[in-house]
Structure 1
Amino acid sequence: MTRPPLPHDFQRPVPAFTATSDAVTEGAALSPLQTYEGGNVSPQLGWSGFPSGTRSFAVTCFDPDAPTGSGWWHWVLFDLPADVTELPTGAGSGGFPGLPAGAIHGRNDYGTRDFGGAAPPPGHGPHRYVFTVHALGVEKLGLDADTSAAAISGTLGHFALGRATICATYENR
């Protein structure tokens, strides 16, 4: 079976920079906290080495393996100020501790404006969860929280100066 492409595969290429996390490891399984049943707690994320000229950031989490034909958006956060280089655990969930002023949560595919954890169908096999930090050449995207995740993704692709990703997995056996 061929794996579905990642959303960035359809966008123009941009330089990579570094994303790190104390909760998400490249190629490893997500913690139960980052699952729908385990609490929907957004992971800590940090980033460095982004291109000069970065004026804001966005953070997304996407599951390209969801059986929807279009994947599943778990997290869409944008208009993060350019001086922010880390989000603490939980910044995208609950009371949004540590979420920078002015940042906007777009609606994820659960229909909520926050981080929605992994919840692949039981027995569907392992899914990939692509956490991406987008370095953008604009301070504000000019979008609001009701803009669809797909439209936000397209806009991020247009304004991206660079991307950093961490891809983890989760399987609901």
Structure 2
Amino acid sequence: MADERLSRVKGAVRGFPDFPKPGILFRDIFPILRDPSLLKDLCSLMLDHIRSKTSEVDVIVGLEARGFLFGPILAMELGCSFVPIRKAGKLPGKTEKVEYILEYGKDVFEIQEGSILKGQKVVIVDDLLATGGTMKAACELVKKVGGDIKDCLVVIELSDLKGRDKVPEGCSSLINY
């Protein structure tokens, strides 16, 4: 059953060569979102994986922006809270910040103060793991506010880029290219 779901989901991912710049093969997950049965398959695969990794989750953290597509659904199904991590200046109130390095410069992630309590069990979700910089920054930010990271789950991992090497907390992926 899981293999059928995974085959269907992977079959829907499209590749766009030379986007957003020459030499990049962009993996597009939006066809999955256009088909309710595929989205249900993907979310059930993610839920099965999370339940296999940990018996208790207090918070699902979603990374801007595509982590926001799955995070609230997963949190609702698990009966836990959803917390977004966003780029600088997009969250109201007091925030904690972490600066991180990208292939093309620096950026900043933020989380609202008090959105994760010390010791809460956290699963971080996103659509893609490439070079690992954003996931590493998200882990630093969650630990900074006291969260206990149980897993970092992505839909797609670009294995050749070795992003998982930058994530000491460990990273899980459903699809590898």
Query: TM-score over 0.5 for the alignment?
Result: no
- For normalisation by structure 1, the TM-score amounts to 0.29
Q: Which structure dedicates a bigger proportion of its chain to helix? A: 2
- Structure (1 or 2) with the larger CA radius of gyration: 2
Structure with the greater relative contact order (CA < 8 A, sep ≥ 6): 1 or 2?
1
